[in-house]
Amino acid sequence: MKQNIVSDIKRGSLPAFKEFFDDYYIMLCVFAARYLKDDEQCKDVAQEALAGYWERREDFDDIYKVKGYLYTVTRNSCLNILRHAKVSQDYQKNYEDELESESAFEDHVIEQETYLLVQNAVDKLPPQMRRIIRYSLEGLNNPQIAKEMGIGEGTVKSLKQTAYRKLKDQLKEYFYLLLFL
């Protein structure tokens, strides 16, 4: 995502907003899924949060305020849905306090932001390394990856080491954030 995307969106650039939307829609859906069990509701909440940002785009000057707005709106929308649902009193009593806690909220935001950082770094890898890292993140071991890609295990190991080195270089400024996860 380019650095001046917030100012482009503020000026009404639909292509910039589409790029931003594409980056944040899935993350907001995943974030909403921590609160809601219905995928369609999660999608609606994410779309509404992003639409709200578009409507209020002139109010934002930096990406951090936009992110804070999106996560807060998404969280509050989810909590409103939970409050209005016909859910048993026991469920509300046991889980609402946890869902509303600031600590849990911050942890979820950090997790989503870290996911975006790692995904963007993986996307910058050469295609073969990118596939190996994605297979590895899915839980496949080197022999399984080699079989899936039709290459030798030694090649997988070598490419994986190089990919991890590149990821480490790309993500070094986020070391302390990643350390907490």
Q: Provide the pLDDT for residue 168.
A: 85
Q: Provide the pLDDT for residue 112.
A: 81
Spans of the chain, pLDDT less than 70: 1-3, 86-103, 174-181
Angle in degrees, 0-180, between the axes of helices 102-123 and 153-171, rounded to the nearest 10 = 120
Residues 6 or more apart from 37 whose CB is under 8 A from it? none
Secondary structure letter of residue 57 according to DSSP: G
- Domains defined for the chain, CATH in brackets: 1-102 (1.10.1740.10), 124-181 (1.10.10.10)
Q: Provide the pLDDT for residue 17.
A: 94
- Entry pTM: 0.57
Amino acid letter, 125: L
Tell me the DSSP string of 15-77.
HHHHHHHHHHHHHHHHHHHTT-S-HHHHHHHHHHHHHHHHHTGGG--SHHHHHHHHHHHHHHH
Q: Provide the pLDDT for residue 10.
A: 93
Looking up tokens 């080195």 gives 165
Amino acid letter, 64: Y
Q: Provide the pLDDT for residue 172.
A: 79
* CA–CA separation, 26 and 43 (whole Å): 8
* CA–CA separation, 98 and 105 (whole Å): 9
Q: Provide the pLDDT for residue 46.
A: 96
